Amino acid sequence: MVNFGDYKQMSTGNSEHINLGKEKLHCLYTGNGKKLLVAFHGYGNNAAMFLPFAEHLTDYKIVSIDLPHHGNSSWPDNLHLTEQHLTDLVQQLLAQYNCQSISLMGYSMGGRVCLKIAELMPEKVEKIILLASDGLTFNTFYYFVTRTTPGRYLFRSFLSSPDRYMPVINWARKRNMIDASRYKFAMQYLNEAQERHLLLKVWPCMSLLIPDYKKLGTKLTQHNIHICVYMGKYDKVIPVNLAERFKGALSNANIELYILNKGHRLIDEDTLPIIAKSLHT
């Protein structure tokens, strides 16, 4: 699990819960600016990871959301996060903070949430900052294991009894069919029962939020939404070429791609001011 707890997360934000029907998501908010930035973290992270941006974004109010099964959000194990949930979330935040529009920031899995919001409510979105973002291209494997009956069965079977599959994984690793970084990334979720249990809840929960890239491209162009995509040059989890494909496929949209000398973990003291600058232009 990527852990940002050792970094400047000692910054504290105010805490509240946002009701979405019978369910609720926890969020942290900080800053006194007139503009509204809504941020979504990645898998295994929590809302606190965006609080260090506050000192660099003094003209923004930052609202950072704990996604389902993360942080202090309360969410049933078998309930999907839906398009309606996202629409309700944005509408509540706009009303609460008396804003006409928002900017979005998403890291990894949270980037996919930002893209879905832009597809659903483009008229409410000013700018999007994507950080090592998931959802830049259609992921066939993810779709298979979360949206098809045989895929869901295999996914649950694999995570429930990983020892049964380890010989095959180790065989592939020894023959360089799986590179070292991806192998290490996978092992951190397979070796601990708690991590496997989290993955079994989170991946299905988020599986309905897959962008329709044709609709998204049209909406981004029609509403001239500016997207800044930051990727890590050495990121093996979500490599740079996915961002290049995203930009190429949506060639009419206003997309800027920046490549940082980082891996998947993009947010640190060096990159904070660089990323924040995109929201000042």
Residues 109-156: tens digit of each pLDDT: 999 999 999 999 999 999 999 999 999 999 888 899 899 999 899 888
Between 102 and 172, the more confident residue is: 102
- State yes or no: pLDDT of 102 exceeds 80: yes
* Domain residue spans of the chain: 14-138+210-277, 140-204
pLDDT digits (tens, 9 = 90+) for 3-20: 433 333 435 679 999 999
pLDDT digits (tens, 9 = 90+) for 158-208: 888 877 777 777 777 787 766 666 676 667 667 788 888 999 999 999 999
How distant is the alpha carbon of residue 3 from its chain centre? 15
- In this structure, which long-range contacts are made by residues 219-223, counting pairs with CB atoms below 8 Å and at least 24 apart in sequence? 219/118, 219/119, 219/122, 220/118, 220/122, 220/250, 220/253, 220/254, 220/255, 221/250, 221/252, 221/253, 221/254, 222/122, 223/122, 223/123, 223/125
CA distance linking residue 101 with residue 90, whole number of Å: 9
Give percent of the chain with pLDDT exceeding 90. Answer: 74
Structural contact between residues 3 and 43, judged by C-beta atoms closer than 8 angstroms: no
CATH architecture, domain 14-138+210-277:
3-Layer(aba) Sandwich (3.40)
Which residue type is seen at 143? Y
